Chains A and B, each alone.
Chain A
Amino acid sequence: MASYFQNIRETLGTIFEGLAITASHFVRKPFTLQYPDRIDIPIQDTLPFRYRGLLDVDLEICTGCLACERACPIDCIVIDARKDTQTREMILERFDIDLAKCMFCGLCSEPCPTGSIHHTPEFEGADYSLESLVRRFVKAPVAAYKPTKGPETDPTIGPVLKRGLRYLDEFASPGAS
């Protein structure tokens, strides 16, 4: 009989202990935020620089080296590039990324020499069909970017390359501190 009342007392005691903790949250700062548009800036801007969202390619600085295609473990990147026999330039004919297959691992952006293929903070990729998730970056065949010795002088490519190299700098390189 004594243990029966003891149990009731302990149960009530611990329930009130728990309720006291819950009640203390009335005076703490709320933690949750409603998702769309309840903060001043777009949610994408609040994400860290390394955030691995949907893939994007800056074709202006793509060298056509196929490093990303080789690195992708699920072959969601398809690149067709041929060498022009007269001008000896790489011509990109196709650069498709199947975002439906992509698992956002970041292995493709790591070996890119110019930071052309990179993850954006964009994550809202919902769509009605699988085909529309295949991003085709090459509309018409273009010549691949040829790295210049020294700083880039072309005013259109310069800023893009700067952003690409900044993206690459985030990756740890062997030997650097």
Chain B
Amino acid sequence: MTVAIDVALEREGVGGLETEEMTLNMGPQHPSTHGVLRFVVKADGEVMRRAIPDIGYLHRSIEKISEKVGYHGFMPYTDRVDYVSAMQCNQGWAMACEALAGITVPRRGEYCRVIACELGRIASHLISVGATGMDIGAMTPFTHCIREREKINDLLEELCGARLTFNYMRIGGCAWDLPPGFAARALDFINRFEPLIDELNELLSFNKIFVERMANVAVISAEKAIAYNLVGPNLRGSGVRYDVRRDVPYSVYSEFQFDVPIGTGEKGTLGDSWDRYMVRCREMKECCRIVRQAIEGLPAGPVIAKVPRTFKPPRGEVYVRVEGSRGDMGWYVVSDGSAFPYRTHIRTGSYTAMSIVEELSPGLMIADLVAVIASFDIVAPEVDR
């Protein structure tokens, strides 16, 4: 017996027993892929050789639909581009149409948009933070996050009548003004929520087991992050201080004071999964700051500009950027002068994050892939559109 093992060892060299590469399917129906997303994992035992993302399961031709339903009618569809933070998608489409037709949004309208967007961003980051914990194996923080998100959903429901697919913005402004008492309730929520971020950090972020799972996993250097076109918190986690709200200010963001948190590498290496996760936790505080400033400085006046029902922008093309919850979201719209867009293209953060998964995966454990996906905060419908 021992002789046989010795012979085998001799044949294989120092490595030991002969192993075989296996191909595994992770997804499309897998709880930690955050939607219908498939990874073809080539693994040697528990160590991955490659993980190839296979996207397209949730493709709904949203870009093509825009060519059929017109400018006003496309607004509810933008909710479905990224249903976890639909407000920023609304704003992207509205801004693109306004840029095409040269419409100025009233100041109160812009402020309402900012309040709605930032509340939506908090809700999205809460989902991300909670789901990261749940993917790693911590169930409780998810319930804490969902509890707070529920409050935001209640606020947004009051504002626009829906909890997920808001359809709040219109070309030229917002469909609804803030309801009476909304500002006070939003402030109440912010004041109560801000200390809870610290509680959440204590509960999850600095938990030793969580840190061990996330720190030093899938390190992305700043150069690589830029080369692979990562955006949003994924890019900031690598230490690049880039935020569309600050660097290419749109709407009224230039009037607010806020920091752009970046990864620090305090638990492991700069640009690891924990940094990407932590950027979101810190960003929620900045969102609270923006909401507070926006409510304090809320001007009076109309929230929507006069836009004709048959909206026909002049010929031309625009590309606008919005800082979505998953980063720099680009809206490219070509108009041929008719009531329907000639071409629409949406550029999203989750899609670019998929490109780096294959590069990162060699040498990681299969269980680490879950941490990587969670730290990228991938929303599958946003990948495919």
Contacts and interface: CB of A to CB of B under 8 A. Distances in A.
Contacts of B161: 48, 50-52, 106, 119
A42 interface: no
B89 to A, nearest CB: 14
Nearest to B77: A73
B302 A172 contact: yes
Contacts of B307: 174
Secondary structure call for the A interface: loop
B302 A174 contact: yes
A177 B199 contact: no
Nearest to A20: B202
A13 B208 CA distance: 8
Contact of A172 (B75, B167, B176, B199): B176
Interface stretch (B8-16, B45-53, B55-63, B66-74): B66-74
Interface in A143-177: 170-177
A21 to B, nearest CB: 5
B136 to A, nearest CB: 13
B207 A18 contact: yes
Interface string B180-220: 00000000000000000001001110111100000000000
Given A18-B140, A172-B303, A174-B306, A106 B158 contact: no
Nearest to B174: A172
A78 to B, nearest CB: 16
Contacts, number: 101
Nearest to A6: B208
B248 interface: no
Contacts of B303: 172
B165 A17 contact: no
Contact of A31 (B77, B147, B175, B207): B147
Nearest to A110: B175
Interface in A36-75: 47-48, 50-52, 71-74
Interface residues of A, number: 36
Contacts of A130: none
A7 interface: yes
Contacts of A113: none
B172 A174 contact: yes
Given A48-B161, A105-B167, A106-B167, A175 B302 contact: yes
B304 A173 contact: yes
Contacts of B75: 105, 107
Interface string A119-152: 1000000000000000000000000000000000
Given A15-B209, A51-B161, A171-B175, 12 more contacts: A21-B199, A50-B160, A73-B70, A105-B76, A107-B76, A111-B309, A171-B176, A172-B176, A172-B177, A172-B304, A176-B302, A177-B300
* CB-CB nearest 9 A-B residue pairs: A73-B73, A105-B76, A50-B161, A52-B161, A174-B306, A11-B208, A73-B69, A48-B158, A10-B208
23 contacts: A11-B208, A17-B202, A17-B203, A18-B202, A18-B207, A21-B199, A22-B203, A48-B157, A48-B161, A50-B159, A50-B179, A51-B161, A105-B165, A106-B167, A106-B175, A119-B161, A172-B177, A172-B304, A174-B302, A174-B304, A177-B300, A177-B301, A177-B302
